[in-house]
Amino acid sequence: MRRRTLLALLLTALPGVAAASGKDSGEEGDPKKRSGGASYIVVQTLTATTNKGGGRRGVFTVECGLDVPDPALRTRVQQSLPRLRAAYNQVVQSYAAGLPPATAPNVDFLAQNLQRQTDLVLGKPGAKLLLGAILVN
């Protein structure tokens, strides 16, 4: 009998608690604020498997984005994001597969190959690839 009373009390109090907590950032449908400015396009994190010492598997992670100042090219980049991600994943996976255990990745080589894929997919230069964090775990 007391459980029913307690449950009824909780159900009536929950809407009041949810309203009291509120949302400080505005409405629920607001997009999340992104960093990098209006010309920056975030690319989802790229991951691949790599070999660690002793025959174990590791994870190779690359965070990147694109800086596209031209508005016409920016719309093309946003439309081509799935193709760009597929090309980036191929580069990252093939690089991670050949990475020897206990060695640091060559960031310049990786950036050059990713930029080349960006220009190939888009058909022209103008989008600059920006690398964030590169982790080997």
Q: What is the DSSP string of the chain?
A: -HHHHHHHHHHHHHHHHHHHH--TTS-TTPPPP-SS-TTEEEEEEEEEEEE-GGG-EEEEEEEEEEE---HHHHHHHHHTHHHHHHHHHHHHHHHHHTPPTT----HHHHHHHHHHHHHHHHSSS-PEEEEEEEEE-
Q: What does the pLDDT read at residue 54? A: 86
pLDDT in tens, 58-113: 999 999 999 999 999 999 999 999 999 999 999 999 999 999 998 999 999 999 99
Confidence label for 7 from pLDDT (cuts 50, 70 and 90) = low
Give the number of domains in the chain. Answer: 1
Q: Which residues span the domain enclosing 54?
A: 40-136
Q: Is residue 64 part of a domain?
A: yes
Q: What percent of the chain has pLDDT over 90?
A: 67
**What amino acid occupies position 78?**
Q
Q: Alpha-carbon distance 97 to 100, whole Å?
A: 8
Confidence label for 2 from pLDDT (cuts 50, 70 and 90) = confident
Can you give the pTM of this predicted structure?
0.74
Q: What does the pLDDT read at residue 26? A: 45
Q: Is residue 68 part of a domain?
A: yes
Q: What does the pLDDT read at residue 102? A: 87
The domain that holds 114 is classified in CATH as: 3.30.479
Q: Alpha-carbon distance 128 to 67, whole Å?
A: 5
